[in-house]
Amino acid sequence: MFNNAGISAGGMILDQDMEGYFKTIGVDQHGVAFGIMAAGRKMKELGNKGVIINTASVFGYLAYHGTLPIRRLKAL
């Protein structure tokens, strides 16, 4: 299973609110964990020795205007 979750509220940091921040964290961080758990449980149920591959975007390494919400998470 290829596991990749990512959203970003975009915009300038001073224009951000905590709702957008928590939404980004919820999808980008928790979404990946939920994907791992769901796929792992299904593989175990089916007796399948599959592979879970977690991918991430370049935003952990590359910055450009308006991408702070996703960059701060991907760099963790």
Angle in degrees, CA 7, 25, 72, rounded to 5: 80
Q: Residue 9: is its pLDDT beyond 70?
A: no
- The one-letter code for the residue type at 51 is V
DSSP 30: I
Question: Are 10 and 67 a contacting pair, CB within 8 Å?
Answer: yes
Kindly report, residue by residue over 15-52, the tens digit of the pLDDT. Answer: 778 888 888 888 888 888 999 999 999 999 999 889 99
The upper half-sphere exposure of residue 64, i.e. CA atoms within 13 Å in the direction of its Cβ, equals 3
